[in-house]
C-alpha cells in the first residue's frame, strides 16, 4: 500500500523542527490534503501541536519501544486513509540511546520505515560552512535516508547562491529556506514547550507560518518526495482481547476505565489508549480538577502524566474527588498511574508555588520538587515480583522525565538504562495497582495492558455480586 511520507530531522535540538513541522502540516491542510503526523521518540507535547493543526490525534513512533515490525505496523495503522504523513524527528538526527547509539534516533526511524528524510539546518551565523555540515550528515551513515534539506534562518539575499552550491557539490536537493520568523514564538517550561492552548493566537500564528512556507519552501517538491516512499512492510501482531469474536467493533466493551484528562493530566500515548479499546475497554474521561467523583460504572482507573504541580491547590481543594478515588482504590478498583498521576496519589505533593498540599493518600509518601531533571530517558523495566502489570522476570519498556521525586518510589520493578550501568527500583505494584514515575509503552509488552483489563473485569464481577 502506498503511504506518502517524509521525516523532518535536524542537526540538533533548537533547530526549529516543531515550528517548521507545524507550518508544513498547516500548508498541507490548506491544500485540502488529509494529513497524518507522527513524533519520533517519547514526546507528549509536540504531538499536541500537530493535533491542533491537522485536527486528528497525532501519534508517536519509537523504535526502542516497538522494534521494526511493530513500528511499521503502527505507521501503517495510523496513516491509513490519509494522503500524506509527516514525521517530526527528535534531538539531532543521529542522536539515539544513551547518547552513544543511533538506535531510537530520527535516523533509525527513517531507516526502519524506509522514509525519505529532509534535514532542517539552522544556518544562523553560517554561509558556506553549511555545506560542510550537510556533507557530514550525508556521509555519517552509508544510507543516511537524507534526500533533502531545508535551510532555516537563511537570509533570502544569499539563499539562491547557497542553494546552487549545495546542489552542485552534494547529492541532495534543497527544498527551500525559512527566513528569520519572530511572530511564532513557543515558550518553554520545565517539561518542554508550554501546552498548545497556552500559546496566544496559535491558530493565527500557524496559518501565518504556513503562508511563509508556501512562499519560501518547495511544497510541491516535498509532496513529490513523500510519494517516493515505499509501503511499510510488517506482520500484523496478535492482540489479546476480551471480545468473544473478531467483530470487536460490534461487541459491548468488557470493562469501563476512567481516564484522567484535563490541564493537569494530559500525557498519554494515543496508541496506548487505542490498544486498551482494542482489547475490550471503554475509556471514559474525567477531570480530577473539576469533577466531583469518578465516572459511574468505572471498573478501573488510569492516571496519566502531566502538570499536577501547576494545579496542586485546585487538586487538593477538590476533596470529593480525592475521597472518591481513595474509596474506589480501597474497594479494590484496579489502578495504573504514571509520573504526574503517581504524584497525585501521594499523601502530599509540593506544588510549583513551594507549598505542600494534601492529595489522594493512596501512596504513603510525599512528592517533592528537585532542582534538576531526574532519571531522564529510556528504561527497560523488569518485574521483581508477580503483580498485576507483569509476572516476575517479565519486562516492559518506558521512559522517565520529571523534575520531581518521591519519598516512596516503590520497588516492584527494576529499571535499567539501556547501554548504561545505572539501575534503580521503582513502581508500587500489587494485584490491582501499578503506580510509579515511569511512562510505559503498552506495545512493548501487551501483557501489561491486558493484565490491567483482566483485573478490571474481575473487579466488575465482584461489584456485581456485592
Q: Beta strands 363-383 and 413-416: pairing type?
A: antiparallel
This prediction has a pTM of 0.93
**251 band by pLDDT with thresholds 50, 70 and 90:** low
**194 band by pLDDT with thresholds 50, 70 and 90:** low
| Residue 245 or residue 419, greater confidence | 419
Give kind and range of the element (H or E) at residue 84. strand 84-88
pLDDT of residue 46: 84
**Is the per-residue pLDDT at 184 higher than 70?**
no
339 carries an active-site annotation? yes
Average pLDDT on 228-252 reads 79
Average pLDDT on 305-330 reads 97
Average pLDDT on 79-98 reads 95
pLDDT of residue 190: 54
pLDDT of residue 94: 97
C-alpha distances in Å from residue 294, one per residue of 306, 307, 348, 412, 450: 19, 20, 20, 27, 22
Single out the catalytic residue among 339, 409, 426, 456: 339
Neighbours of 201 (CB within 10 A): 11
**119 band by pLDDT with thresholds 50, 70 and 90:** very high
| Residue 373 or residue 389, greater confidence | 389
> pLDDT tens, 259-279?
999 999 999 999 999 999 999
pLDDT of residue 313: 98
**Is the per-residue pLDDT at 200 higher than 90?**
no
Alpha helical stretches, state H, 141-218: 156-169, 202-216
Give kind and range of the element (H or E) at residue 47. helix 45-54
> Residues 437, 400: contact at Cβ < 8 Å?
yes
**14 band by pLDDT with thresholds 50, 70 and 90:** confident
DSSP 8-state secondary structure symbol assigned to residue 311: G
Neighbours of 221 (CB within 10 A): 15
Give percent above pLDDT 90 in the chain. Answer: 79
**185 band by pLDDT with thresholds 50, 70 and 90:** low
pLDDT of residue 143: 93
> Residues 248, 242: contact at Cβ < 8 Å?
no
**Is the per-residue pLDDT at 2 higher than 70?**
yes
CA dihedral sign of residues 382, 368, 332, 444: negative
Q: Is 244 helix (H, G, I), strand (E, B) or coil?
A: coil
Give Cα 9 to chain centroid, integer Å.
Answer: 16
pLDDT of residue 402: 83
> Residues 409, 426: contact at Cβ < 8 Å?
yes
**Is the per-residue pLDDT at 193 higher than 60?**
no
Longest dimension (CA), the chain: 78
**Is the per-residue pLDDT at 227 higher than 80?**
yes
> Residues 238, 274: contact at Cβ < 8 Å?
no
Q: Beta strands 346-350 and 300-303: pairing type?
A: unpaired
Q: Which of 257, 304, 262 is nearest to 287 (CA)?
A: 262
> Residues 152, 15: contact at Cβ < 8 Å?
yes
> pLDDT tens, 206-217?
888 899 999 999
**Is the per-residue pLDDT at 432 higher than 60?**
yes
Burial-class residue 153 by CB neighbours within 10 Å (0-12, 13-18, 19+). middle
C-alpha cell at 368: 517533592
Neighbours of 252 (CB within 10 A): 8
Give percent above pLDDT 70 in the chain. Answer: 94
**Is the per-residue pLDDT at 377 higher than 60?**
yes
> Residues 175, 148: contact at Cβ < 8 Å?
yes
C-alpha distances in Å from residue 154, one per residue of 25, 158, 176, 190, 419: 21, 8, 10, 29, 38
Amino acid at each position: 500500500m502506498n503511504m506518502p511520507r517524509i521525516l523532518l530531522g535536524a542537526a540538533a535540538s533548537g533547530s526549529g523542527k516543531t515550528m517548521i513541522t507545524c507550518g508544513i502540516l498547516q500548508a498541507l491542510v490548506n491544500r485540502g490534503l488529509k494529513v497524518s503526523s507522527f513524533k519520533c521518540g517519547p514526546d507528549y507535547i509536540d504531538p499536541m501541536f500537530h493535533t491542533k493543526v491537522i485536527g486528528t490525534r497525532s501519534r508517536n513512533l519509537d523504535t526502542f519501544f516497538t522494534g521494526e515490525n511493530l513500528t511499521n505496523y503502527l505507521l501503517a495503522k495510523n496513516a491509513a486513509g490519509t494522503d500524506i504523513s509527516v514525521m517530526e524527528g527528535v534531538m539531532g538526527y543521529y542522536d539515539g540511546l544513551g547518547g552513544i547509539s543511533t538506535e531510537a534516533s530520527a535516523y533509525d526511524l527513517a531507516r526502519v520505515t524506509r522514509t525519505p528524510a529532509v534535514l532542517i539546518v539552522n544556518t544562523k551565523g553560517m554561509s558556506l560552512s553549511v555545506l560542510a555540515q550537510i556533507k557530514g550528515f550525508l556521509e555519517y551513515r552509508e544510507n543516511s535516508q537524507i534526500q533533502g534539506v531545508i535551510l532555516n534562518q537563511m537570509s533570502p539575499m544569499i539563499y539562491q547562491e547557497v542553494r546552487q552550491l549545495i546542489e552542485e557539490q552534494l547529492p541532495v536537493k534543497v527544498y527551500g529556506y525559512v527566513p528569520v520568523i519572530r511572530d511564532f514564538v513557543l515558550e518553554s517550561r520545565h517539561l518542554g514547550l508550554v501546552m498548545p492552548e497556552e500559546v496566544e493566537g496559535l491558530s493565527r500564528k500557524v496559518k501565518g507560518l504556513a503562508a511563509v512556507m508556501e512562499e519560501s519552501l518547495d511544497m510541491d517538491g516535498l509532496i513529490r518526495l513523500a510519494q517516493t516512499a515505499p509501503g511499510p512492510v510488517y506482520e500484523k501482531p496478535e492482540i489479546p482481547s476480551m471480545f468473544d469474536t473478531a467483530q470487536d467493533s460490534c461487541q459491548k466493551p468488557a470493562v469501563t476505565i476512567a481516564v484522567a484528562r484535563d490541564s493537569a493530566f494530559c500525557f498519554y500515548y494515543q496508541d496506548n489508549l487505542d490498544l486498551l479499546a482494542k482489547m475490550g475497554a471503554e475509556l471514559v474521561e474525567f477531570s480530577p480538577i473539576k469533577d466531583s467523583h469518578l465516572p459511574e460504572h468505572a471498573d478501573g482507573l488510569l492516571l496519566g502524566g502531566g502538570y499536577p504541580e501547576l494545579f496542586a491547590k485546585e487538586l487538593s481543594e477538590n476533596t470529593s474527588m480525592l475521597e472518591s478515588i481513595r474509596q474506589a482504590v480501597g474497594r479494590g478498583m484496579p489502578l495504573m498511574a504514571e509520573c504526574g498521576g503517581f504524584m497525585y496519589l501521594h499523601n502530599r505533593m509540593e506544588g510549583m508555588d513551594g507549598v505542600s498540599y494534601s492529595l489522594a493518600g493512596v501512596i504513603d509518601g510525599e512528592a517533592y520538587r528537585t532542582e534538576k531533571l531526574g532519571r531522564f530517558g529510556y528504561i527497560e523495566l523488569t518485574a521483581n515480583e508477580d503483580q498485576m502489570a507483569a509476572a516476575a522476570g517479565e519486562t516492559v519498556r518506558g521512559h522517565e522525565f520529571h523534575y520531581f521525586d518521591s519519598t516512596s518510589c516503590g520497588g516492584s520493578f527494576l529499571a535499567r538504562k539501556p547501554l548504561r550501568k545505572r539501575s534503580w527500583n521503582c513502581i508500587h505494584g500489587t494485584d490491582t495497582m501499578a503506580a510509579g514515575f515511569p511512562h510505559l509503552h503498552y506495545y512493548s509488552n501487551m501483557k501489561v495492558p491486558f493484565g490491567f483489563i483482566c483485573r478490571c473485569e474481575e473487579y466488575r464481577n465482584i461489584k456485581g455480586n456485592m
